[in-house]
Structure 1
Amino acid sequence: MALDQRLLDILVCPVSKAPLQFNAARNELWCRASRLAYPVRDDIPVLLEEEARELSHEELGQ
């Protein structure tokens, strides 16, 4: 399920304050600036740094 675009427009990474991108395949919100992926559980973004995982170079396309 895709997140509402209006929600995506206002959400930012709590670490870097950069915009987030929804990755539907992994059901995560990705921040390229902080290199963190935040889970989306039951259609609710979990924007806690301790719940995030680090994105790999391959995931970032680098």
Structure 2
Amino acid sequence: MNALLVQKIEKEKGFAGVWELLTVGPFEQGNEKYYQTLEKLTGITKANYNKKVWELINNEK
């Protein structure tokens, strides 16, 4: 899943966007920083994460 997200971010924001996601920090309960950064970069939120990831998967077929 993360590979598809990174691919999307790189396409839309370049490597700087990918680096921003990769440097979110260590794991934390609830992954709030991860989801905040992901929303900023892609518009994918914690609430719509599953739906958007499935869209990415289906687009790869």
Name the TM-score, length of structure 2 as normaliser.
Answer: 0.31
Which structure shows the bigger proportion of residues in helix conformation? 2
Q: Which has the larger radius of gyration?
A: 2
With CA pairs under 8 Å and 6+ residues apart, which has the higher RCO, 1 or 2? Answer: 2
User: TM-score normalised to the size of structure 1?
Assistant: 0.31
Counting strand residues as a fraction of each chain, which structure ranks higher? 1
